[in-house]
Protein backbone atom coordinates (compact mmCIF):
# COMPACT_ATOMS: atom_id res chain seq x y z
CA UNK A 1 0.00 0.00 0.00
CA UNK A 2 1.13 3.53 -0.72
CA UNK A 3 2.65 5.63 2.05
CA UNK A 4 1.71 8.93 0.40
CA UNK A 5 -0.15 11.14 2.87
CA UNK A 6 0.91 8.94 5.79
CA UNK A 7 3.56 9.22 8.46
CA UNK A 8 6.91 7.99 7.19
CA UNK A 9 7.97 4.87 9.11
CA UNK A 10 10.67 5.92 11.53
CA UNK A 11 13.78 3.87 12.14
CA UNK A 12 16.84 3.81 14.34
CA UNK A 13 19.74 2.14 12.57
CA UNK A 14 23.48 2.36 12.00
CA UNK A 15 24.68 4.68 9.24
CA UNK A 16 27.80 6.14 7.71
CA UNK A 17 28.01 9.95 7.77
CA UNK A 18 30.24 12.24 5.71
CA UNK A 19 31.74 9.29 3.88
CA UNK A 20 33.78 7.99 6.81
CA UNK A 21 32.03 8.11 10.21
CA UNK A 22 29.98 5.13 11.42
CA UNK A 23 27.24 5.94 13.93
CA UNK A 24 25.17 3.30 15.71
CA UNK A 25 21.97 5.33 15.87
CA UNK A 26 20.53 7.31 12.95
CA UNK A 27 16.87 8.33 12.89
CA UNK A 28 14.44 10.45 10.91
CA UNK A 29 13.42 12.16 14.16
CA UNK A 30 16.32 14.59 13.86
CA UNK A 31 14.73 16.21 10.79
CA UNK A 32 11.18 16.70 12.12
CA UNK A 33 10.33 20.40 12.09
CA UNK A 34 13.68 21.26 10.54
CA UNK A 35 14.19 19.73 7.10
CA UNK A 36 12.44 17.77 4.42
CA UNK A 37 13.98 14.43 3.51
CA UNK A 38 14.60 12.63 0.24
CA UNK A 39 15.02 9.01 1.34
CA UNK A 40 16.04 6.56 -1.35
CA UNK A 41 16.59 2.82 -1.24
CA UNK A 42 18.96 0.93 -3.49
CA UNK A 43 19.58 -2.82 -3.78
CA UNK A 44 23.17 -3.42 -2.69
CA UNK A 45 26.68 -2.02 -2.32
CA UNK A 46 29.37 -2.98 -4.83
CA UNK A 47 26.87 -3.50 -7.65
CA UNK A 48 26.33 -1.83 -11.01
CA UNK A 49 23.40 0.58 -11.40
CA UNK A 50 23.58 1.58 -7.73
CA UNK A 51 26.84 3.57 -7.85
CA UNK A 52 25.57 5.61 -10.80
CA UNK A 53 22.53 6.65 -8.78
CA UNK A 54 24.40 7.29 -5.55
CA UNK A 55 27.00 9.45 -7.29
CA UNK A 56 24.27 11.26 -9.24
CA UNK A 57 22.58 12.20 -5.96
CA UNK A 58 25.94 13.46 -4.69
CA UNK A 59 26.38 15.56 -7.86
CA UNK A 60 23.02 17.22 -7.15
CA UNK A 61 23.46 17.39 -3.38
CA UNK A 62 23.93 21.19 -3.35
CA UNK A 63 20.64 21.56 -5.24
CA UNK A 64 18.78 19.52 -2.63
CA UNK A 65 20.47 21.29 0.27
CA UNK A 66 19.67 24.78 -1.00
CA UNK A 67 16.02 23.67 -1.07
CA UNK A 68 16.28 22.55 2.55
CA UNK A 69 16.15 18.83 1.73
CA UNK A 70 18.35 16.19 3.37
CA UNK A 71 19.32 13.29 1.08
CA UNK A 72 19.60 9.85 2.71
CA UNK A 73 20.45 6.54 1.07
CA UNK A 74 19.61 3.11 2.47
CA UNK A 75 20.34 -0.52 1.59
CA UNK A 76 20.43 -3.86 3.38
CA UNK A 77 24.23 -3.81 3.65
CA UNK A 78 26.01 -3.30 6.97
CA UNK A 79 27.60 -0.01 7.94
CA UNK A 80 31.02 -1.63 7.55
CA UNK A 81 30.28 -2.60 3.96
CA UNK A 82 28.97 0.93 3.31
CA UNK A 83 32.24 2.31 4.67
CA UNK A 84 34.32 0.00 2.51
CA UNK A 85 32.43 1.12 -0.60
CA UNK A 86 32.59 4.80 0.38
CA UNK A 87 36.37 4.58 0.69
CA UNK A 88 36.85 2.76 -2.63
CA UNK A 89 37.85 5.04 -5.55
CA UNK A 90 35.40 5.47 -8.40
CA UNK A 91 37.84 3.96 -10.90
CA UNK A 92 37.71 0.75 -8.86
CA UNK A 93 33.92 0.62 -8.65
CA UNK A 94 33.56 2.62 -5.45
CA UNK A 95 31.66 5.73 -4.44
CA UNK A 96 34.42 7.75 -2.83
CA UNK A 97 33.35 11.37 -2.33
CA UNK A 98 29.74 10.71 -1.27
CA UNK A 99 28.97 12.84 1.81
CA UNK A 100 25.29 12.26 2.62
CA UNK A 101 24.26 9.51 5.07
CA UNK A 102 23.99 5.88 4.00
CA UNK A 103 21.78 3.88 6.38
CA UNK A 104 22.49 0.20 7.09
CA UNK A 105 19.27 -1.84 7.03
CA UNK A 106 20.87 -5.14 7.98
CA UNK A 107 17.63 -6.53 9.40
CA UNK A 108 15.70 -5.56 6.24
CA UNK A 109 12.99 -4.05 8.44
CA UNK A 110 13.30 -0.50 7.07
CA UNK A 111 12.87 -1.71 3.48
CA UNK A 112 9.98 -3.91 4.64
CA UNK A 113 8.24 -1.02 6.42
CA UNK A 114 8.54 1.18 3.34
CA UNK A 115 7.17 -1.56 1.08
CA UNK A 116 10.28 -1.88 -1.07
CA UNK A 117 11.73 -5.21 0.06
CA UNK A 118 12.09 -7.71 -2.78
CA UNK A 119 10.76 -10.81 -1.04
CA UNK A 120 9.53 -11.60 2.45
CA UNK A 121 9.82 -14.01 5.32
CA UNK A 122 7.70 -17.15 5.54
CA UNK A 123 7.67 -20.49 7.36
CA UNK A 124 8.60 -23.57 5.34
CA UNK A 125 7.22 -27.08 5.77
CA UNK A 126 9.62 -27.64 8.67
CA UNK A 127 8.31 -24.57 10.49
CA UNK A 128 11.58 -22.76 9.84
CA UNK A 129 11.50 -19.07 9.08
CA UNK A 130 13.06 -18.50 5.66
CA UNK A 131 13.28 -15.66 3.17
CA UNK A 132 11.59 -16.31 -0.16
CA UNK A 133 10.03 -14.64 -3.19
CA UNK A 134 12.94 -12.34 -3.98
CA UNK A 135 16.63 -11.60 -3.53
CA UNK A 136 16.16 -9.93 -0.15
CA UNK A 137 17.33 -6.50 -1.24
CA UNK A 138 15.45 -3.22 -1.65
CA UNK A 139 13.84 -2.11 -4.87
CA UNK A 140 14.80 1.40 -5.99
CA UNK A 141 12.29 3.27 -3.84
CA UNK A 142 12.33 7.06 -3.53
CA UNK A 143 10.35 8.88 -0.83
CA UNK A 144 9.97 12.65 -0.35
CA UNK A 145 9.06 13.40 3.27
CA UNK A 146 7.94 16.82 4.48
CA UNK A 147 9.04 18.59 7.68
CA UNK A 148 6.18 17.03 9.64
CA UNK A 149 7.33 13.56 8.66
CA UNK A 150 4.55 12.93 6.11
CA UNK A 151 5.34 11.18 2.83
CA UNK A 152 4.37 13.46 -0.06
CA UNK A 153 5.77 11.44 -2.96
CA UNK A 154 6.94 7.90 -3.57
CA UNK A 155 8.28 6.09 -6.60
CA UNK A 156 9.52 2.50 -6.81
CA UNK A 157 11.59 1.07 -9.66
CA UNK A 158 12.44 -2.57 -10.26
CA UNK A 159 16.08 -3.57 -9.78
CA UNK A 160 17.40 -2.92 -13.35
CA UNK A 161 15.78 0.52 -13.70
CA UNK A 162 17.87 3.48 -12.55
CA UNK A 163 15.95 6.53 -11.38
CA UNK A 164 16.03 10.12 -12.64
CA UNK A 165 17.55 12.42 -10.02
CA UNK A 166 16.26 15.55 -11.74
CA UNK A 167 12.73 14.19 -11.35
CA UNK A 168 13.25 14.09 -7.59
CA UNK A 169 14.28 17.75 -7.68
CA UNK A 170 11.22 18.56 -9.80
CA UNK A 171 8.98 16.94 -7.18
CA UNK A 172 10.60 19.03 -4.45
CA UNK A 173 10.08 22.21 -6.51
CA UNK A 174 6.46 21.32 -7.20
CA UNK A 175 5.75 20.73 -3.52
CA UNK A 176 7.41 24.01 -2.56
CA UNK A 177 5.44 25.89 -5.25
CA UNK A 178 2.18 24.45 -3.97
CA UNK A 179 3.01 25.28 -0.37
CA UNK A 180 4.07 28.85 -1.19
CA UNK A 181 1.48 29.82 -3.79
CA UNK A 182 -1.42 27.42 -3.24
CA UNK A 183 -1.39 26.49 -6.93
CA UNK A 184 -1.28 22.93 -8.25
CA UNK A 185 1.31 21.76 -10.76
CA UNK A 186 0.13 20.23 -14.06
CA UNK A 187 1.77 17.52 -16.14
CA UNK A 188 5.45 18.13 -16.96
CA UNK A 189 5.54 21.21 -14.74
CA UNK A 190 8.99 22.62 -13.97
CA UNK A 191 10.13 25.58 -11.88
CA UNK A 192 9.39 28.79 -13.78
CA UNK A 193 6.50 27.32 -15.77
CA UNK A 194 2.83 28.17 -15.22
CA UNK A 195 0.93 26.35 -12.52
CA UNK A 196 -2.83 26.68 -12.01
CA UNK A 197 -5.51 27.33 -9.44
CA UNK A 198 -7.21 24.18 -8.18
CA UNK A 199 -10.61 25.32 -9.45
CA UNK A 200 -12.66 24.55 -12.59
CA UNK A 201 -11.90 28.04 -13.91
CA UNK A 202 -8.22 27.62 -13.12
CA UNK A 203 -8.04 24.38 -15.09
CA UNK A 204 -10.01 25.89 -17.99
CA UNK A 205 -7.75 28.94 -18.15
CA UNK A 206 -4.63 26.78 -18.07
CA UNK A 207 -5.84 24.42 -20.80
CA UNK A 208 -6.97 27.30 -22.98
CA UNK A 209 -3.49 28.83 -22.87
CA UNK A 210 -1.43 25.69 -23.21
- Residue 121 confidence class, pLDDT cut points 50, 70, 90: confident
Of the candidates 167, 175, 18, 176, the one whose C-alpha atom is nearest the C-alpha of residue 99 is: 18
Same-domain check for residues 127 and 177: no
Q: What is the pLDDT of residue 120?
A: 87
Q: Which percentage of the chain shows pLDDT scores above 90?
A: 94
Q: What is the pLDDT of residue 1?
A: 86
Same-domain check for residues 80 and 168: no
* Residues in CB range of 36: below 8 A, 6 or more apart: 67, 68, 69, 70, 144, 145, 146, 147, 172, 175
- Residue 90 confidence class, pLDDT cut points 50, 70, 90: very high
Same-domain check for residues 112 and 180: no
Q: Is residue 1 part of a domain?
A: no
Between CA 8 and CA 40 the distance in angstroms is 13
As annotated, the active-site residues are 50
The chain-wide mean pLDDT, for the chain, equals 96
Mean pLDDT of 15-28: 98
Higher pLDDT, 82 or 127: 82
Mean pLDDT of 87-108: 97
Mean pLDDT of 82-100: 97
Same-domain check for residues 46 and 123: yes
175-202 residue pLDDT tens? 999 999 999 999 999 999 999 999 999 9
Q: Is residue 3 part of a domain?
A: no
> Do the Cβ atoms of 175 and 167 come closer than 8 Å?
no
Q: Is residue 168 part of a domain?
A: yes
Mean pLDDT of 124-134: 89
23-63 residue pLDDT tens? 999 999 999 999 999 999 999 999 999 999 999 999 999 99
Same-domain check for residues 32 and 136: yes
Amino acid sequence: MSLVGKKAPNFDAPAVLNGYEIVDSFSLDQFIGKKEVLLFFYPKDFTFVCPTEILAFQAKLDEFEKRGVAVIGCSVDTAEVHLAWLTTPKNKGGIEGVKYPLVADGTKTIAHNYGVLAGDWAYNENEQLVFEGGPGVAFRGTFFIDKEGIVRHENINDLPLGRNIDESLRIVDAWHHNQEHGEVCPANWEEGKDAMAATPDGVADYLANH
